[in-house]
Amino acid sequence: MNRRFVVAILIMVASGVGQAQTFRKTKTIDGTGKEVPVELGFDKQTQLLTVKALAAPIAEVPFTNIEKLSYEQAARHRVKEGAIVMLASFGAGGIVMLTKSKNHWLYVDYKDAGTTRALTLKLDKSEYTRVLEAAEEQTGKPVETLTRDGRSGKGKGGY
């Protein structure tokens, strides 16, 4: 009985390989420059990359329309956060200002009705490698790693 159960679980897991993958810790930048939480999805069956904010879709991009996938890791000083902490403790706020945060960005360049468009997605540090792997696996397109000066790196594996 246990053997059948294990085999059934293995079959279910194996059949899920290559199917839709969804990531819920991703954000995008809205028209006012604010970060908005979104759900990022890759569905190999329907050949769609989807970005949804709450219930409203922001973008549905057929894999065939994707021209380029790019990844960049950016570091910035925590000036704003340090200023807030400084209100409570001057020393602690100064220390926070000297630290850096790392952000992971996925850029999707695609065509929509003949017009070139771009999606900018901020990936969560706990799932960015899985998002990049899913992007390559699902779309069949390489994720290009950008260097600090914005030039192209050596492709896959840099993340």
DSSP class of residue 99?
S
- Please state the domain extents for the chain: 19-145
Q: Mind listing the pLDDT tens digit for each residue in 4-61?
A: 544 444 444 444 445 789 999 899 887 788 888 999 999 989 999 999 987 678 899 9
User: Which CATH code fits 19-145?
Assistant: 2.30.29.30
- Are 63 and 48 within 8 A, CB to CB? yes
Look at the pTM and tell me if it is higher than 0.85. no
